[in-house]
Structure 1
Amino acid sequence: MPQNEFGQPVGEPLPGWQARPPVIPVTLTGRHVRLEPLTAAHAGILYAPMVLESDPRIWTYYPYSPTMTRAEFDACIAVQLRNPAGAAHAIMAPDGAGLGFASFLRIDPPNGSVEVGGIVYSSALQRTTAATEAMILMARHVFDDLGYRRYEWKCDSCNEPSKAAATRLGFTYEGRHRNAMVYKPPNRDTDWFSITGAEWPALSAAYDAWLAPGNFDAAGAQRRSLGDLTRS
């Protein structure tokens, strides 16, 4: 471990490090899904698939009612758009159907750190190749396009599907912030996960291998799971 002039251990040097560009909403296009900057107009596209046609359990770990009126959903979208350290995206099918939304949060260009969060998938998007590709597109943008060095994932410690998704995507568990929030109105403990720039090349290769057409049979079933590939 490096030491300073006083013989104290210090962190590894970062020669040439410069603040990264800010993360702003952009269009990210894959084979199965497209992300585009969220706007107020998306409320009309997303309301039915995310509220009227989805299992109400998709909203359990968010401060919104699963029976939102259209006006309440408009307000929900407005909250995503007002976050000064966020970059909100609508998740769309190739045919233009609305599937969900997700955001870059806690954007910190000087330290090269950003969180992916505010992720709400409609029932139609959950457990699909498109759902995973959406997260891969966001990670690629952060690391490959913008050169960030830390990518965070945080969720309610009771949210087992979110924790499983983070692990499957190759995030490393970092710990639990106890009594982090009060909402809906129970206490929330928050679990933290991350990917670092040093881990990214291996994870990027795993994502490529998983998304390769040859990894899926004629019925669309995966031959090798993403979790197996990210653990390799």
Structure 2
Amino acid sequence: MTPEPARAAPDRVVLEGRYVRLEPLDRRHAADLFAVSTMAGGAERYRWLLSEAPSSLAAMEQRIAETNAGPDRYVAIIDKASGKALGQQGWMRIRPEHGSIEIGGVYWGLPMARSRLATEALFLFARHAFEDLGYRRFEWKCNNRNEPSKAAATRFGFRFEGVFRQDMIIKGENRDTAWFSILDTEWPDLRAEYERWLDPANFGADGAQLTRLATPRG
């Protein structure tokens, strides 16, 4: 079977979930994102990102403007219960001609980290890439020393592909980059498991999961 390119690059569309809504990143999200970045422990979550935590609201606004002027396409992650932007993530390495795309620049603020909000934000990106846009490959990359990110990729069902040694220099340090991917042929089974796990019946009154996300590699 001849491989097909993706139909298009991601557009600036809103992706609606049960718990979160993904909106094209905009200046109006700056105050919320600055708040979660500067809350106790929030700045530490920038440890493995390309940028440092914003030093001011103006710096956050400038970062959003610069991000939107570049080749990547970012979204703000809105908690539908509160209406607040609690994080951001981006489409990167957008290569529709090859049917390959990456989720990157992920900042899931502490109020949404390790929760159904984060899992649904990932799920909405994957579903849009595979089903709406026709991508064949969905990538996740991180610093090889970032053990929480590698564990998250495995939990989400990404397959580890290897390490690019001395791939980058980030914040004055060497970065060996760990590569992970999900392919279109793997997505139907993963989608079914995501939908099972994200069902409200899988969560107690306190929001804690009743069963784990059971992906083949998770």
- What is residue 42 of structure 1 aligned with on the other side? 29
1:224 counterpart = 2:214: no
Q: Which runs of 4+ in 1 moved over 6 A?
A: none
One-letter amino acid of the counterpart of residue 111, structure 1 = H
1:194 counterpart = 2:181: yes
Q: Residues 217 and 185 from structure 1, CA distance in 2 versus in 1: closer, same or farther, beyond 3 angstroms?
A: same
Cα offset, 1:54, TM superposition:
4.3
Which blocks of at least 5 consecutive residues in structure 1 are unaligned? 1-12
- What is residue 57 of structure 2 aligned with on the other side? 70
SS of the aligned residue for 1:125 comes to coil
Which blocks of at least 5 consecutive residues in structure 2 are unaligned? none
Q: Return the index of the structure with the highest Cα Rg.
A: 1
SS of the aligned residue for 1:147 comes to coil
1:14 counterpart = 2:2: yes
Q: Residues 66 and 49 from structure 1, CA distance in 2 versus in 1: closer, same or farther, beyond 3 angstroms?
A: same
One-letter amino acid of the counterpart of residue 77, structure 2 = I
- Once residues 14 and 40 of structure 2 are traced to their aligned partners in structure 1, the CA distance between those partners, rounded to angstroms, is 25
Tell whether the 8 Å contact from 1:54 to 1:124 is kept in structure 2 after alignment: no
Percent identity (aligned): 44
Higher RCO (C-alpha under 8 Å, 6+ residues apart): 2
SS of the aligned residue for 2:167 comes to strand
- What is residue 155 of structure 2 aligned with on the other side? 168
Root mean square deviation of aligned Cα = 1.8
Structure-2-length-normalised TM-score: 0.92
Q: Residues 18 and 60 from structure 1, CA distance in 2 versus in 1: closer, same or farther, beyond 3 angstroms?
A: closer
Tell whether the 8 Å contact from 1:169 to 1:230 is kept in structure 2 after alignment: no
One-letter amino acid of the counterpart of residue 64, structure 2 = I
Q: How many residues align?
A: 217
Cα deviation, 1:28-65, whole Å, max 9, x if unaligned, reads: 11111111000123212321122245432101012333
Structure-1-length-normalised TM-score: 0.87
